[in-house]
Structure 1
């Protein structure tokens, strides 16, 4: 997702694309709600791709994931579903196509659930199930796609969720998908997405709260915490993948980071990817007019009264999405 999620989420577009890439269509009124509530139920998982060889005529064909019906051909033998799903900080989508069916009764626009019956294999027993991510995936590619997404996050289902828009300089607190507070925030002194230690940038990504502290701090930067600290488990699994590609970490470190992140635990703080990212207050009052909202060395900065008020409502383990 990221900075232009304000494009209407219902535009029909082929492929696995961040919704910021959508072109035509009216502008959504609220990027936070658009992220949390796509046009169809987001996928919580993708089931394995069914085998196309030797499909038994008359056997039932079921949806790979939550989504909605996009198209049904005139003969009602081919059905295409549109699926939305979360990956890191992005809301993405993919299409699944089911050909060689009969007894299809669904119509375009109808929501579907993972495992829901779509129809039956036709009399010729020639079932075809394919995925389209901007290009049609081969059978092997499609199987890797579903295997890698056998379990997916659902931010709106989190007990506590923080969504942070770097474009809007705004953070919203949700409890079970319901907004309960919103505040202004600032970010790192340097613009752009965090890449490595010392670049003074704020990350984009999905993280979890792993440490909290309220009270006094020691060290030369103690006053800049504003008496509060909420630490996130940056780097996450996707940061680690990028770090491996760039030669910043080894595959062993990548795997260790991915495991710890998935368990909502602290991740390796010693690598060249950097660490020490979280929420804190500031050394006094600040305004965006005076600072441009660019204050920290990569953390999310809150006004002191705001972090003081919200501190107890954000438990360890809470999900945080910086987009």
Structure 2
């Protein structure tokens, strides 16, 4: 092998090692920030599809929700918006595609608000608005989708918000989107998302604080509360939808759960879905190393000094998202 070729291979090897090290040192995305701060302002609601009377040539076409411009074809009279919205514990993405437009002036990447003008119905075209989730929705599916999301939560706007990450064994407390504190937490003894009563799993979902108690407790396991209890309104409507599909509850019970949850009240406690989920302390000190974070019968366990310090900062009605 010639010396020049040898030097060239050494340079390639060094460069490859450097790139690998650089990639491995790239910080992982923060799950909390990713959830709370989508690439464009989250939708607070979706408007219905334009009525036929609004689809006549020359009429203004407006955005169905907050989002940003993903693609523009001004000559072809089309535009696609990207929307982000919260549903249960997930931050989801929707695309709305508008065709049959003229006078489109928005550039790619522009942020839009609900009702923002996108262009006008073209004189020689037919207006079409198509929704895309994981697939293109039919007109009937699109109408149902929009109607069921006429009002949407905005976690970052909540006066008090608790985000709990199953993956990171961590909780962060926010006040109107500003982080106040972060603490370590543990979960149920069994891994996975809660399904039924007695499975010792912790739920994933969007809930609200509906009850608080500090002081002494009674019963065989009183000491395991660590002197504090903050109850959530599990099950929520998505838990109830699953329960209805699986034959665990009736339609009437599902609807009662949905109404109570929307009012930030306690939901049904006697169904096969289970109940009694919340935050509490523990009988003594614990560590992730010793316990694996698997402690409770389904609740979120905090270190007792942490829940003691945060108890007054978590009011009834506060939103809690376990993701």
Task: State the TM-score, normalizing by the size of structure 1.
Answer: 0.90
Map residues 34-113 of structure 1 onto 2, 5 A cutoff.
34-52=34-52, 55-73=55-73, 75=75, 77-113=77-113
Say if 1:186 and 1:293, in contact at 8 Å, map to a contact too.
yes
- Tell me the alpha carbon deviations over residues 271-301 of structure 1, each in whole angstroms, 9 at most, x when there is no partner: 0000000000000000011100000000000
Residue equivalent to 2:182? 182
Other structure's SS at 2:270 match: coil
Q: Report the structure number with the largest CA radius of gyration.
A: 2
The 2-side partners of 1:276 and 1:221 are apart by: 14
Say if 2:74 and 2:102, in contact at 8 Å, map to a contact too.
no
The 1-side partners of 2:54 and 2:105 are apart by: 24
Question: 1:229, CA displacement in angstroms?
Answer: 0.2
Structure with the higher helix share, 1 or 2: 2
Other structure's SS at 2:290 match: helix
Question: Is 1:276 aligned to residue 299 of structure 2?
Answer: no
Corresponding pairs, count: 298
Map residues 1-323 of structure 1 onto 2, 5 A cutoff.
29-52=29-52, 55-73=55-73, 75=75, 77-323=77-323
Task: State the TM-score, normalizing by the size of structure 2.
Answer: 0.90
- Tell me the alpha carbon deviations over residues 218-252 of structure 1, each in whole angstroms, 9 at most, x when there is no partner: 00010000000000000000000000001100000
Choose 116-125 or 157-166, whichever is displaced more. Answer: 116-125
- The structure-2 alpha-carbon separation of the partners of 1:52 and 1:98, relative to structure 1 and needing over 3 Å to count, comes to farther
Say if 2:101 and 2:127, in contact at 8 Å, map to a contact too.
yes
Other structure's SS at 2:260 match: helix
Question: 1:207, CA displacement in angstroms?
Answer: 0.1
Structure 2 gap segments, 5+ residues each? 1-25
The 2-side partners of 1:28 and 1:261 are apart by: 34
Structure 1 gap segments, 5+ residues each? 1-25
* RMSD, aligned CA: 1.2
Question: 1:56, CA displacement in angstroms?
Answer: 1.6
Say if 2:88 and 2:205, in contact at 8 Å, map to a contact too.
yes
Question: 1:134, CA displacement in angstroms?
Answer: 2.1
Other structure's SS at 1:129 match: strand
Other structure's SS at 2:34 match: helix
The 2-side partners of 1:163 and 1:29 are apart by: 16
Other structure's SS at 1:108 match: coil
